[in-house]
Amino acid sequence: MMRRGVLLLLSAVLAAACSGPLLANSPAPTGAPYEKPTARPSVVDPIAIELPRDDAPHDRLTEWWYVTGHLSTLDGTREFGYEAVIFRAKRGQFPVTWASHIAITEKPRAGHAGSFTYDQRSEVGPQVDVTPIMSRPVIAGFAITGANPLDPATLGRDPWVMLMLPGGDMQIGGNGLMLQLGAGRSPVLHDTDGWVAFADAGGSYYYSRTRMPTAGSLTIGGQRLAVTGSSWFDHQWGDFIAIGGGGWDWFALNLSDGSDLMLSFVRAKDGSYPLVYGTWVGANGVVRHIEAAQINLTALGTWTSPHTGATWPAAWRVRIAQIGLDVTVTPEVADQELNTLESTGVIYWEGANSVTGTLAGRPITGRSYVELTGYATLR
């Protein structure tokens, strides 16, 4: 979420109010890997993150609530990955702009090669924030629908709803997903205190809930299935517009020993990496910041999209000297590309992956979500 020290800019905010979109993977100014934000002299960052207060929206230029996860049917015969995200953008006096993406990956099984489906929506205006009309306590509630957010009979289509509940629980509904997420282990503040500095471009607040017990249902191929599993939640916000003129690679790993790992690689226009960092959550819950010098990422192959012609990395070797990690991350399905030009102005790849390798010399397996941007040329 993104979802990460990076941005999927909601181009709809400019498309609706200006002459054209400004994209997160547009070239940065010459010699600069970041785009400078609009000045906000009344805000002095960083401010200590406080939960549950900061689960709610902020009066900042950019914000997103990002959930990815791994699910299986109750009998264990079918496995899925999913992504559900809501983006919020505020630009001066223009109305707040929102967008949402939902994607479902069915992982391969005997006799089935796997599949990937996704959808997108966008909305301009305050009606998307439905917190004031909810009948139960919520920290924040968002419904990407239309003029009447929680009335599908009026709208003629189901609302896409994400509710942030007291205590860290969540509910997600829309596009075949109906999920209940428990808070799980304690929230993790990235870059030690939850503030990721972007040099002259300002910075971003960023925290995650890395293992949220998840249960509910999903609908695929017209069939509704009861599912259970685990989810990863990212929340990021700040006064920035675009980070990384060359795009970025983001990894979220849940390993079989109970440990979790987030890695962020932000590329400049020239292919260099001005920002690389990670966060390790040990099986005992102890959190460690991972410095760039300790991280080694090697792409092991590529996949070329038949839809956009973009060539994406496909499978990676990840080595972290600091924790003795050496694993291979492999896409469950090659085609997990999202063309979201209609809602966020970005083509990106985000999907479920398997993990195998070693940790401190011992065999380890796991599951991962990976997000890639900057590899597709807009047409």
Predicted local confidence at residue 39, as pLDDT? 46
For 163, the domain range is 12-34+50-373
CATH number, domain with residue 69: 2.40.370.10
Query: 227: closest CA among 106, 117, 100, 120?
Result: 106
pLDDT greater than 80 at residue 2: no
Predicted local confidence at residue 240, as pLDDT? 80
Q: In angstroms, rounded to a whole number, what is the distance separating the alpha carbons of residues 159 and 149?
A: 6
Predicted local confidence at residue 13, as pLDDT? 35
**Residue 331, SS3 per DSSP:** strand
- What would the pLDDT profile of 321-372 be if each residue is shown by its tens digit? 999 999 999 999 999 999 999 999 999 999 999 999 999 999 999 999 999 9
Query: 240: closest CA among 208, 207, 199, 276?
Result: 199
φ, ψ dihedrals at 78, nearest 5°: -135, 140
Please state, as a whole number, how many other Cβ atoms lie within 10 Å of the Cβ of residue 362.
Answer: 9
- Mind spelling out the 3-state secondary structure of 120-182? EEEEECHHHECHHHCCCCCCEEEEECCCCCCCHHHHCCCCEEEEECHHHCEEEEECCEEEEEC
- What would the pLDDT profile of 77-132 be if each residue is shown by its tens digit? 999 999 999 999 998 889 999 999 999 999 999 999 999 999 999 999 888 998 98
Q: Kindly indicate the confidence band of residue 14, based on its pLDDT and cuts at 50, 70 and 90.
A: very low
- Asked, for residue 236, whether it belongs to a domain, the answer is yes
Mean pLDDT score of the chain: 86
Distance from the first to the final alpha carbon of the chain? 24
Q: Does the N-terminal peptide bond of residue 52 adopt cis geometry, omega within 30 degrees of 0? A: yes
pLDDT greater than 50 at residue 161: yes
pTM: 0.88
Asked if 233 and 86 count as a contact pair (C-beta separation under 8 A), the reply is no
- Asked, for residue 3, whether it belongs to a domain, the answer is no
- Of all residues in the chain, the percent with pLDDT exceeding 90 is 72
- Provide mean pLDDT across the span 8-27: 30
- Asked, for residue 6, whether it belongs to a domain, the answer is no
Predicted local confidence at residue 308, as pLDDT? 95
| Helix (H) / strand (E) containing 334 | none
Please state, as a whole number, how many other Cβ atoms lie within 10 Å of the Cβ of residue 284.
Answer: 7
Asked if 368 and 254 count as a contact pair (C-beta separation under 8 A), the reply is yes
- Asked, for residue 235, whether it belongs to a domain, the answer is yes
- What would the pLDDT profile of 163-205 be if each residue is shown by its tens digit? 999 999 999 999 999 999 999 999 999 999 999 988 766 789 9
Strand-strand pairing, 223-238 and 177-181? unpaired
- Asked, for residue 45, whether it belongs to a domain, the answer is no
- Asked, for residue 229, whether it belongs to a domain, the answer is yes
- Provide mean pLDDT across the span 42-63: 92
Asked if 332 and 352 count as a contact pair (C-beta separation under 8 A), the reply is yes
- Asked, for residue 42, whether it belongs to a domain, the answer is no
- Asked, for residue 41, whether it belongs to a domain, the answer is no
Q: In angstroms, rounded to a whole number, what is the distance separating the alpha carbons of residues 306 and 252?
A: 26
What's the structural domain count of the chain? 1
Q: Kindly indicate the confidence band of residue 320, based on its pLDDT and cuts at 50, 70 and 90.
A: very high
